[in-house]
Structure 1
Amino acid sequence: MSIKKLTYKLSFALILAGGMNSCSLEEWNPSTVDVETAYKYKSGYESLINYCYDGLYYFYGKVDGIGAMEMGTDLWTNVGNTESGFILYNSNMNAQLGTLNTIWNGMYSTVNYCNTAIHYANVVEGYTPEERNKKVAEAYFLRGWANWHLVEQFGGISLTTIPSTVSGAVSSPKRSTEKEFYDLIIEDLKFAAANLPDKVAGERGRVTKKAAYAMLAKAYLQRIRLGENVQEYAKLALEASEELINNGAKYGVALYQSDANTSGYSKLWAGPNNKNNTEFLFLEAVDHVEGRNPEGWNRGRTRQYYLMDARTVGAPWGTQENDAILGRANSRIFKPTKYLLTEVFQPVRNPADTRFSETFFHEYYNATWADKTITASMVSQYRKNPNLVGRVIKNTAATGSSLVQGNRAINHYGLVNMVDNNNDGYLDGLSILTPNYVMSTQEKSDLPFWVADPSDWFDAEGKWINAQTNTRTTAEYEIFPSLKKFSSKEYVYDRQYWMGDIPIIRLGEVYLIAAEAALLQNNDVNKALQYINTLRKRAAKSSRESEMLVAAGEVNLDFILAERARELAGEQTRWYDLKRLGKLTSAYLKDTNPEILSFDPSKHVKRPIPQTFLDAIANPVEFGQNDGY
């Protein structure tokens, strides 16, 4: 049972229906129910705690969080102009950008809910002191999480601890320093780690100690970018990480282990493991049974923003928009960079590392409900071997019943005719192949499906070819590897929505935090190597684990940054990673993402303050816009 299901069943939910509006940081109008009376009762107070989780659902699995956390980095670039302020740091990154309002209002709303819960905790009847601390610790955790995003996105803005029910509207807010933000974030997370339960049965989304230690490790490590007490905060980050790594049974966490047929990394993303995942430490729990979520069934849309053009460009070969597993191909926005495809991931056929194949769809199948026959015109247009005329690409579409949606009929590709009867090494229903390695012109010509690889996608500078620079009659630049992580068929609701839980922090990241912290504390290469190799081994099938091992001489902060990309691409961590490690620079971004031409390090390491906020307060000049905007 997800925690959001509880929220909708509690009568006191209406108390917070007003939320936070744009008139101030904390303005909030309670209903006719007196709040102190309402929070006197456990049901009302626990409804308030549940509302503290609301912000997760507007930041993960939605385009707003993707733009802020993954774009403008070394890993992704754009297809269209949507979110281009985040992607290219162009003039669209300004104080009027709507996504900034979503993040600003959502995080401050979370902070206000949490401040309210913390303030009124002592008036609640029916708790023992230990029970009260366990419950309010959720609010401390989520306030720390929200303030962490606020300070990383916007810098030293207004740090609030008093609920609006007590302070009233704050018309002239004051700025706090980033250090003051981090002092409170860490204190909040320490309280959470000390008081949250080890485990909670039956409530996937409820935070426990594993989430607190993981978030505390992230906060300690990120604070290092402030440049003070680096070794001390690295030590603390390592200790928080090792609390989870060394006590997995206590907290119910473990890395999935590889076997002869499947890597541990593949098991991590397997649909049957989604709702009870041993690597998910902090997650957005989605109610896949009754749809009791903010916006109901409108969840899990991450995949559609990264999808290649299966609707039009791929259609002659059998792909289509109405593809349940791939998603809906009408929101194409983000593409992987050449750096991500060919340097982060090893550009070879059949690598030991399964993380490329688990991160990306790169094989697309005939989903048209009929066999496709290669014609002479296709051979001519797509530069194929004439001997392929008449070759059949088998239909692989079938109606499957989702494992969690009862008997709801979902059309999936890849359920039938997934065979290799012609013994060419590829399944007979394959329509399009987009490998991250370069294939010879002859091989691409001879294969009975359309092939595009990095030699077709990028120019000499490493930029994506586009409609203006393309010299062919076909559009290889519109077919490419698409993000796969949030797509397991068991939780497909329809071609647009996916009802799986979304991990916010995973155990795999904790191993990488530990490795980075070990280097920063005292250059303990051997400890860092231990954690890195443990993680890398579980990315291969058991028979190939030895191929994944790296030597001590390879381990440094740059290697860990690349390893974080291999492990976490698309999981909304990358912008903060580059910020922490000093890689938000013109030189680094030019080398890894040459589409970015206008990055200004004196300006773009923070986002602009939303203009709607500055227009609403009484002291906009004193509060000030962030530098450069």
Structure 2
Amino acid sequence: MNQHNSLIRSVTQSLLVMGALLLSTTGCKDLLEEVPVSQVGSQYASTPSGFEAVVKAAYSSLREYYGREDAMTLTVFGTDTYTMGADGSFKFVNQYTSQIDGRLALTNNIWNAFYKGINTINVALDAADGIGGLDATIKKRRVAELKFLRAHHYFILVQMFGPVSLLTKGNLVPTKEFTRAPVKDIYAQIITDLESSLTDLGTPTSEYGRVTKGAAEHLLAKVYLTKGTDKDAAAADDFNKAATYAQNVIKNYTYKLLPDFSSVFAQGGGEINDEVIFATQYTSDPITNIGSGFNSTTTSGVTINGNQTHLYFGMEYDVQAGMQRDVLNGRPFKRFMPTTYMLNTVFDPAKRSIDSRYKKTFKDTWLSNRPGTFTNLFDTSKKSVTFASGDTTIFIPGVEWTMEQRAAKKYQVLVPSLYRPNLFPVLQKFLDPLRPDRTYEAGSRDFIMFRLAETHLIAAEALIKQGKAAEAVPFINAVRRRAAWPGKEKDMEITAAQATMEFIYEERERELAGEMHRWFDLKRWGILVDRVKKYNPDGAPNVKEFHNLRPIPQDQIDRTAGGTQSYPQNPGY
């Protein structure tokens, strides 16, 4: 394990325009505890302690995105691999209806959170040069962290919205003067921020949670890979630079692919491991998880969110025979249901005997926590079932069984022909059994943003884009060998002839399902509309090319001098 002796649980409240800054004191269990300080001026950021506090505060905007309903809905829904379950919320996002417009709260929340975060960062960067009494090396490192965070925010914004406002100076006075900068200018700023940060960022240290040089190089690889496919920004050497930065991360640091795929998301603190390059920090302390999104608990007027991903991928196990809702199996919102393409092609049943990722990605067994005899069954191969505590109540084999095969089991068997919006295979990466009770929504698990398996796949994709399939093979095979069942490693290897973009389309999802990449991947590959039409029946009728961008928040347009003339809406909305 990398040296993770203390965790940065950065900051309670994202700063407002003037900044709601945070003081920090070292607390028990090696956590950095933050104490909120009410409205103070930018002068605070010009002091050594204030500057350090503002830098920590800048990290809080990551918790407004990763592990949150807003961004999960916009990156998982409406793709080729996930469609809508029985839950009624935000189905229109998956269906691409006209309800996706400038009033959409999901996009507005992300826009506001990131621009609030960018302004916090800009205020701190403006103050940095004038700060005395702070070790010069530490100050350079904090400036580099801020530049990384600003680049990260703009990278998400430019992918989602296209041309956006490019702000690099702090704003402490309300203004209505905004414009949308060209995409190429936004990418230029992202790259400038990231490349200038490399000299001063640290390598993995005891202060787990801070940005490192490895994280910056991973993000640069992803930025160049994406920029290289954007007609408004692409340069001839983008894919070469993407491959170079990805290979730097793989070769030059102490990150490692864990031996077992399931260990990456092991419950109970498993996110702190040698494969994780950067993660958004959450904690069981509700004050640290302050945010402003949906499905939150309000305490003393403050909105508490935590990591919410455990809510969205679950099926309706809790009303089935022998079962009731508990902390271990989660609170199932039934929001995201895997598509047939996901289950039958990405995770091809014929290949599951060599590739462990279907078994380790999806939960297949539920054990009784409500003993008794039951007759209300989805599995009609039997008239009743009787369970003692701990007996298997539901099993999902992932393939069809005959009626006779199912009848021979004392539990219910959920086969593909019985899948429906409330009963389906459950992605188990994000289950959070450490929540205090079965209804609690604010999870405490960190959200893994960057991990080394993705770095390998970025390197492979960038090499394939350059026509270097043979050079891509070792990076793909490293990921696939790790995913193999014991003794099947050789069977998992591919050849140069198999190293195509079509292979990458599926390999990324086998490895990264549910990790907030898919919508961006499909957009980057230029196949969002085609794949939704082919594999997402609920989204197919309405999806159009203009859906490759999200709508600009109408509030932004209305509050800009000149309105739509100065700040036009994206086409189609």
| Structure 2 counterpart of 1:276, from 256, 264, 272 | 272
Aligned match for 1:451, one of 405, 413, 428? 413
Counterpart check, 1:588 vs 2:531: yes
Q: Which residue of 2 aligns with 1:292?
A: 288
1:54 to partner: Cα distance? 1.3
Q: Secondary structure at the match of 1:543?
A: coil
Contact 1:15 1:31 (8 Å CA) reproduced: no
1:127 CA drift (Å): 2.9
Q: Deviations over 1:491-515 (max 9, x none)?
A: 3443234312110111110000000
Provide the C-alpha distance between the structure 1 equivalents of 2:368 and 2:459, rounded to a whole number of angstroms: 44
Match of 2:28 in 1: none
1:23 is matched with none
Matched, 1:157 2:164: yes
Aligned to 1:383: 380
User: The residue matched to 2:397 in structure 1 has which SS?
Assistant: coil
Contact kept? 2:21, 2:57, Cα under 8 Å = no
Alignment match, 1:526: 470
Query: Aligned equivalents of 2:313 and 2:248: distance in 1?
Result: 35
Give the match's secondary structure for 1:194: coil
Cα 1:104–1:588 change in 2 (3 A) is same
Q: Aligned residue pairs: how many?
A: 538
Partner residue in 1 for 2:295:
none
Instruction: State the one-letter code of the partner of 1:449.
Output: Y
For 2:64 and 2:39, the matched residues in 1 are separated by 28
Looking at structure 2, the residues matched to 34 and 455 of structure 1 have their Cα atoms a distance apart, in angstroms, of 61
- Structure 1 range deviating more: 512-521 or 61-70: 61-70
Aligned to 2:547, what secondary structure does the other structure show? coil
The answer (yes or no) to whether the contact 1:145–1:185 under 8 Å persists in 2 is yes
CA distance 1:393–1:231, shift in 2 (3 Å): farther
Shift of 1:436: 2.5
CA deviation digits over 1:401-430, x for unaligned, max 9? xxxxxxxxxxxxxxxxxxxxxxxxxxxx21
1:555 aligns with 2:561: no
**Partner residue in 2 for 1:481:** 425
Normalised by the length of structure 2, the TM-score is 0.88
Residues 1:513 and 2:458 are matched in the alignment: yes
- Alignment correspondent of 2:72: 66
Q: Specify the alignment match of 2:322 in structure 1.
A: 318
Structure exhibiting the larger radius of gyration computed from Cα positions? 1
Q: How far apart, in 1, do the equivalents of 2:177 and 2:189 lie? A: 21
Question: Is the deviation greater in 507-516 or in 589-598?
Answer: 589-598
The SS at the match of 2:506 is: helix
2:517 counterpart residue number: 573
**What residue identity is the alignment partner of 1:617?**
T
Distance 1:163 1:272, change over 3 A: same
In the TM superposition, what whole-angstrom CA distance separates every residue of 1:46-104 from its partner, at most 9, and x where no partner exists?
A: 11111111111121122111011111111111123412232111122111111111111
Partner residue in 1 for 2:299: none
Map of 1:436 onto structure 2:
398
CA distance in 2, matches of 1:194, 1:162: 22
Give CA deviations for 1:12-70 in whole Å, capped at 9, x if unaligned.
Answer: 99961299xxxxxxxxxx9774423x223211001111111111112112211101111
User: Cα distance 1:170–1:342, how it changes in 2: closer, same or farther (>3 A)?
Assistant: same
Task: Determine whether 1:173 maps to 2:178.
Answer: yes
Shift of the 32–229 alpha-carbon distance from structure 1 to 2, 3 Å rule, reads closer
1:603 is matched with which residue?
546
Alignment-derived partner of residue 16 in structure 1: 19
1:138 paired residue among 131, 141, 145: 145
Q: Quick check: 1:362–1:480 contact (8 Å CA) kept in 2?
A: no
Give me the whole-angstrom Cα distance separating, in 2, the residues matched to 1:297 and 1:61: 13
Structure 2, unaligned runs of 5 or more:
1-5, 23-36, 292-302
Secondary structure of the 1:508 match is helix
| Residue 24 (structure 1) aligns with | none
TM-score normalised according to structure 1 size: 0.80
Aligned counterpart, 2:29: none
Q: How many Å apart are 1:131 and its aligned residue?
A: 2.4
Look up the match of 1:88.
95
**C-alpha distance 303-273 of structure 1, shift in aligned 2 (>3 A):** closer
8 Å CA contact 1:267–1:273 kept in 2: the answer is: no
Measure how far apart 1:385 and its partner are: 4.4
Select the residue among 559, 565, 568 that pairs with 1:616.
559
- Alignment-mate amino acid for residue 56 of structure 1: L
CA contact (8 A) 1:72 1:89 kept: yes
Q: Given the alignment, which residue of 237, 242, 245 partners 1:232?
A: 237
Give the corresponding residue for 1:393: 387
Amino acid paired to 1:383: T
Distance verdict in 2 for CA 1:84–1:14, change over 3 Å: closer
Structure 1 contact 213–240 (Cα < 8 Å) conserved: yes
Contact 1:204 1:275 in 2 (8 A): no
The amino acid of 1:455's aligned partner reads S
- 2:9 maps to which of 1, 4, 10: 4
Cα 1:589–1:121, aligned 2, differ >3 Å: closer, same or farther?
Answer: same
1:237-386 mapped onto 2 (5 Å cutoff):
237-249=242-254, 253-257=255-259, 264-271=260-267, 274-288=270-284, 292-294=288-290, 298-312=305-319, 314=320, 317-321=321-325, 323-329=326-332, 331-348=333-350, 351-368=353-370, 371-373=371-373, 377=375, 382-385=379-382
Partner secondary structure for residue 282 of structure 1: strand
* Deviation sequence 1:107-136 (CA, Å, 0-9, x none): 111111111121111011123433221111
Aligned-residue CA RMSD in angstroms? 2.6
Task: Look up the equivalent residue of 1:245 and give its one-letter code.
Answer: I
